[in-house]
Amino acid sequence: MKRRIRILVIEDEEAIRTGLVDVLIFHGYEAESAVTGPDGLKHALSGRFDLVLLDVMLPGMDGYEICDRIRAVDRRLAIIMLTAKSSDEEIVAGLKLGADDYVPKPFSIQQLVLRIEAVLRRTQAGEQQARTLQLGTLEIDTENFTGRNGSDEIAFTKREIEILSYLAENADRPVSREELLTKVWGYARDLGIETRTIDIHVAKLRQKIETDNKNPKWLITVRGAGYRLVLEH
């Protein structure tokens, strides 16, 4: 029997919170809730949930910080942000931090359920695809940290796979060294960590995935912007 999707509602307004939980259960989901930002973050990082409905204005910690902290350690948990604020700047801010969707209040239940279904379809499909990464003749098993290129087997570290996976998820654009430190290493933005560690990891990765690591065609440097993983040639 397939287990039911588990959704966490982080919302401090009692009427909205209890209403959302009831609606989610009615539609066949398992649902739990949290009232404060810190409590919501703790639940979200427990590994028990498939999706988080995250209010922006919360006591103790706002939704933007919660989203940022979740993404520092979990790139696959689906996040839909809920807010009464709907300016383009606020929506873009949430999406840049890694939210999968953004639903402004007030919203219809039908609209919200459809958005939940759409996000779950995308994230679950992405999770299946992410297990194998194909770079030309090199096939990388991201679950087991191994690769195969013809008869040659290649071992990867967990960190190397995390870098490749993050770059693959964002293959449409270059990713800066600072973003990799924040999203893959989980460092806070204001720590001023030396980005040289990224260059060292990239150099090691190129030795494993490139035919000519001095002239890379898969893991390329975008001058002034960072690194980009090219998935098609």
Q: Which residue has the higher pLDDT, 18 or 178?
A: 18
How many domains would you assign to the chain? 2
Summarised one tens digit per residue, pLDDT across range 81-135 is 998 766 667 777 777 788 888 888 888 888 899 889 988 887 665 565 557 888 9
Do 101 and 58 lie in one domain? The reply is yes
Summarised one tens digit per residue, pLDDT across range 56-86 is 999 999 999 999 999 888 877 899 999 876 6
Do 164 and 207 lie in one domain? The reply is yes
- Close Cβ partners of 60 (under 8 Å, ≥ 6 residues apart): 36, 37, 38, 39
Give domain status of residue 161, yes or no. Answer: yes
Do 146 and 183 lie in one domain? The reply is yes
Do 101 and 171 lie in one domain? The reply is no
Kindly state the average pLDDT of the residues 44-49. Answer: 93
Do 36 and 93 lie in one domain? The reply is yes
Kindly state the average pLDDT of the residues 5-21. Answer: 96
Do 113 and 147 lie in one domain? The reply is no
Do 29 and 44 lie in one domain? The reply is yes
Domain range holding 144? 131-229
CB atoms under 10 Å from CB of 205, counted, come to 24
Using CA atoms, how far residue 117 sits from 6, 7, 51, in Å, is 12, 12, 10
**Which residue among 94, 129, 164 closes a domain?**
129
Do 98 and 201 lie in one domain? The reply is no
Do 114 and 166 lie in one domain? The reply is no
What 3-state DSSP class applies to 207? helix
Domain of 82, CATH number, reads: 3.40.50.2300
- The DSSP call for residue 183 is I
